[in-house]
Each structure stands twice: as C-alpha cells, then as structure tokens.
Chains A and B, each alone.
Chain A
C-alpha cells in the first residue's frame, strides 16, 4: 500500500477555470463553456473526452441535485411541519411531515427524526430558484440510518466509486464484507466489522484521490487483497 508508482503514467490532465480545453470539432459537455468555437473549463478539474464530447469533472464542489436521485443527508433544523436536511448541496433540502413513511399526525417531528440524525431519501422536486424537496416515501431505500458511519466525498467523484454497472462498489462490498450505500450527493454510508470497515473507507478515499485514472478497479482490488493477505498478524488500528 505504500507505493503508488503504477498510477503515475495514466492520463489525468488537471485544468483550471478559463483554460482552453478544445478547439474545433469536439462538442461541449458539462463543466465547460464556449466562446467563438473554443471550449474553456469552468472549474478546477480533470479534463475528460468521451465520444467527441469534452467535459471537466470538478475536483471539488457541492452537490447539484437532480430529481429522482438517492441522497444521504442529516437533519440540520426542524420547523413546525418540516425538516431541513443537509445533503451536501448548496441549499438545504426540505422534507415535509408527509414525506416520511410514518404517520406523524400531531406528534413532534423530532420524535421521528431528530437534529443530527441521518437519513436516506430521494430528491422529489426542485424549483427554478433551487428550492429542493426530498422524500423518504415509497422507495426501497428511504429510511433512517441507525448504525455504521458516514463519510463525504465530492459528489463529482460518485460515479467512480460506483463504477461501471456498479462494478467498483460491488467489488469493495464483496472483498470487505461491508454494507455500503453511496448517496449521489457524495455522502456514503458504510457498516461492517472494524478492520474491514477501515479498509472500505480507505478504498473510497483512494478512489476520491485518484478518480480519473484508468484501471482503478484493479488497483483498488489489489490494494484490498494485499491488505487481506497481510492482515494475519498485525493491523495497527
């Protein structure tokens, strides 16, 4: 786990805001803007060219919610009839008393979900000035988090943590035996036995830091295998 040497040759071009990233034929993707047929980056990020589309994956930044996405968040504030939930986005999301799978009636909302408690929910509505609504109702994952830990990575890195058709996350789950749920907003829930949990967290961190290199799945797999082979005696927790 000490050496990263084999990653260094892979292509990851860091670009800064305003940097020219393409001219001529390429089409413009996300994280970029164009002036006179030239395409420039909007972000500090990694340049990516796929199917003639050039885009920039930001290295940092908040979650930009889309309707239907699963998110993990925690309650920041409670009002008369709604919770305000921090979902790692610019704006806190609102969840009404009618958005939870329990009949709240005239009970206090904090009896169901209190400040600081984490939930898994879906983005149900976004208006033009970015008022966000989320719901825990009528979806398989909508629930309160009672155990395990959460960690946060930039939302832009989530696709890499999941991998193609879920290949990356399944591999980590299989090898570590941990339960993992990846919110599209970059908040990730993990649970498992102590050393395995630490390994799963390390794997996610490594993906975050090396998001734009090829062959990442194999690298992460090797890292976990190496650790598992060496675990017999001394894990300094």
Chain B
C-alpha cells in the first residue's frame, strides 16, 4: 500500500483548528460523521448491509454454509471475517493478497463480535460434534475516506443482525425463527490522537497525520470486549480512561441508530 499525502497547508489547518477543539469539517471531537445504514441490499447474500460513515463506504455480505466444527470446539459453529481493500476504494490500494492493514481490520472486527458474544456460537451447531453452521463475513470496502474499522464493524453488525440461515439450500428443516442468533449488540469506536488532542471517527486526513489510534469495542453495559491500539504514537493511561469515559455516551446514540435500522428491516 502506497502512502496517502496530506498537504502541509491542510495539516497546518487541522492543527490550528484542533487548538479551538474544532475539526476540518467543523465537527466536535466527540462527533461522528453522518452514518448511513442500508440493510439487505444484496439478495444473493444471507445477510447484507451497505454502511457509510461520511464518504467511507463498505458493503458487508454474510454467506452461511454447513461444515464440520473445529475439533477443540465440537459444539460451536464457525465464523470467519475477511476484509478486501479493493483498488476501487482508493488510489493507494492495490490488488493482490490481503495487505497487513486489511488483515488487522478483519481481525479487530472479528474480535469485537466474537468477544462480545454477539452471536451465540453454540446455537450454530446442527448435529453435535459433526455438523455446524459456518458464517462468513465478507467486507468489501468501496470508498475509503477514513475510519474503516468502525465502518466495517457497523456493516458487520447490521448484516449479521439481519442474516437468516439458508435451511432450504442445505436440505435442512426450516426453523420458526431463521434469524442468526444475535444476543448482544456491541459497538466499536475508533479514536485518533493528533498532538495532545483525541477525536473519534477520524477522517482520511486526520487518520493520515495521526500519531496514535485506539479502537474499543463495548457491549450494552459499556463493558470493554476488545481493544486495539495502532500507529507508532503513544497514549498515557489517563488518556485511555478519558476515552473510555467519553465513549459510553457517544456509543449510546450510535447503538440506537443502528438498532432502529435493524428493527425496521426485520
């Protein structure tokens, strides 16, 4: 992956505005860009969503197959998450095997979903020890303008929440409730640190000049379920506490937006 270039005048402008707790697009530090959520747009998938945060745009597709469980978890289903940073999305993305960036995003999204127990994996078992549902989460990034972690995460959560098991396709008896067993509703939020300022939902320019990045996944009780620190800059302990404290309020509103969309669709 080549590097994005932020011109010095824009960098200066960002740094200047940050001093007044403002951002280049006039947001506050605790403010997300506009979030758009469209569930169910891909009918060839078992669950899907098109999610945009600002100009960043991701399509999530869920495919569900049957297969054997892993030997160490004979009664649990399988879930894998895959992110494709396709060259359509940015002049700096290249085709080929997944870049370290794509792998990191996929793993952090996967961790937030898995560790929050969003999906009850035991309920994915079909024949104990022999046959389970395998859930593939495929994330297609189509426009990259910063903060892929959160865009991919929301897209995954919405797509999973609206996914249905393809009983017919695998000659299985239909269930009264064919929905994938979603039991929790995690939210993942990403912050960047520029100088000494910390802001949520970084734009491309902010992400490019940021010193450090922190992603946190929390559940409905605001308990922390997954974290990932990124970039070469550092955080102080109290900075992390401050982020966690702030994060509760920010995430509450986002959770409501997402839940609303999902419920309407269901």
Q: Do A and B bind each other?
A: yes
Cβ–Cβ < 8 Å partners of A74 in chain B: 5, 7-8
Q: A147-B12, A149-B13 are in contact. Are A237 and B26 (CB under 8 A)?
A: yes
A101 proximal to B (CB < 8 A): no
Interface of A is mostly: loop
| Residues 1-19 of chain B, each 1 if its beta carbon lies under 8 Å from chain A, else 0 | 0000111111111000000
| Residues 68-106 of chain A, each 1 if its beta carbon lies under 8 Å from chain B, else 0 | 000000101000000000100000000000000000000
Tell me the nearest residue of chain B to A236, going by C-beta: B26
Q: Nearest Cβ in chain B — how far from A134, in angstroms?
A: 16
Complex Cα gap A114–B26 (Å) = 28
Question: Do residues B12 and A150 form an inter-chain contact, with CB atoms below 8 A?
Answer: no
Most buried by B among A74, A116, A117, A149: A116
Complex Cα gap A86–B4 (Å) = 13
A225 proximal to B (CB < 8 A): no
Cβ–Cβ < 8 Å partners of B7 in chain A: 74, 116-118, 150
Question: Do residues A147 and B9 form an inter-chain contact, with CB atoms below 8 A?
Answer: yes
A145 proximal to B (CB < 8 A): yes
Interface residues on chain A, number (Cβ under 8 Å) = 14
Question: Do residues B13 and A117 form an inter-chain contact, with CB atoms below 8 A?
Answer: no
Cβ–Cβ < 8 Å partners of B10 in chain A: 149-150
Most buried by A among B9, B10, B11: B9
Question: Do residues A117 and B12 form an inter-chain contact, with CB atoms below 8 A?
Answer: no
Q: Nearest Cβ in chain A — how far from B67, in angstroms?
A: 48
Question: Do residues A118 and B9 form an inter-chain contact, with CB atoms below 8 A?
Answer: yes
Complex Cα gap A150–B7 (Å) = 9
Cβ–Cβ < 8 Å partners of A76 in chain B: 5
Q: CB within 8 A of B11: which of A116, A145, A237? A: A116
* Chain B residues within 8 Å of A, Cβ to Cβ: 5-13, 26
22 pairs from A and B in contact (CB 8 Å cutoff):
A74-B5, A74-B7, A74-B8, A86-B5, A114-B8, A115-B5, A116-B5, A116-B6, A116-B8, A116-B11, A117-B8, A118-B8, A145-B8, A145-B9, A147-B9, A147-B12, A148-B9, A149-B9, A149-B10, A149-B13, A150-B9, A150-B10
